Amino acid sequence: MDKELFVERAVVDSILSYAQMLHPRESILLLRGTVDKHKLLINDTQLPPFATHGKSFSAFPLHSLPIDFSVMGVAHSHPSGALRPSATDLNKFYGRIMIITAYPYQSESNLAVFDRQGSPLKYKII
Ligand SMILES: [Zn+2]
C-alpha cells in the first residue's frame, strides 16, 4: 500500500477485548476511518449490522454490507492462534485492509494488518 497506516490505540483495544469476549467463537468488527492521498487512519470499530455471534468470518455475508465509504476493512479473530489470513479470508477481503487478531489476543503482538494480497502491512498505533 502506498499510504502510511495509523490505527488508534482504542481500536486495537476494542479488537483485542471483543475477541477475548467471544472466544472460542470468531469475532468480526468493521473498521472505520479516513483516507487521503498520504495516509489511512482507522479510528473506530462497528459491529456489522447483521452480526450473528459465533458465525465465522468465512460464513459472513460481506457482500450484503451497505456501501459505506468510511468502512476501511474488517477485523476478525482466529481462535486457532494463526496470525495470518487463510485463503478464504483473502477471497472474502472487503475494503482496503484486513486486521487479524490471533488467540490469546493479549497485545498488539497478537494482531496484524494485511493487504488484499495477504502481505503484512506496517502500521503505527497512535
Ligand atoms: Zn480468518
3-state secondary structure 77-125: EECCCCCCCCHHHHHCCCCCEEEEEECCCCCHHHEEEECCCCCECCCEE
Residue 94 has pLDDT above 80, yes or no: yes
Residue 84 has pLDDT above 80, yes or no: yes
How far apart CA 99 and CA 30 sit, in angstroms, is 10
DSSP string of 14-62, one letter each residue: HHHHHHHHHTTS--EEEEEEEE-SSEEEEEEEE--TT--TT--GGG--G
Q: How far away, in angstroms, is 87 Cα from ligand 1 center?
A: 8
Q: How far away, in angstroms, is 57 Cα from ligand 1 center?
A: 6
Higher local confidence (pLDDT), 52 or 93: 93
Residue with cell 460481506: 62
pLDDT of residue 13: 98
The model carries a pTM of: 0.92
Higher local confidence (pLDDT), 44 or 2: 44
Length of the chain: 126
Q: How far away, in angstroms, is 89 Cα from ligand 1 center?
A: 5
pLDDT of residue 36: 94
Q: How far away, in angstroms, is 85 Cα from ligand 1 center?
A: 5
Query: Residues 125, 123, 94, 78: is their CA dihedral positive or negative?
Result: negative
Catalytic residue among 4, 8, 26, 108: 26
Can 4 be counted among the known catalytic residues?
no
Higher local confidence (pLDDT), 2 or 20: 20
Cell of 112: 496484524
Residue 99 has pLDDT above 70, yes or no: yes
Mean pLDDT of 93-110: 96
How far apart CA 62 and CA 65 sit, in angstroms, is 5
Phi, psi dihedral angles at 95 (to 5 degrees): 95, -150
Q: How far away, in angstroms, is 100 Cα from ligand 1 center?
A: 7
Residues lying with their CB under 5 A of ligand 1, a single-atom ion: 57, 89
pLDDT tens string 39-78: 999 999 998 876 666 667 777 777 777 777 799 999 999 9
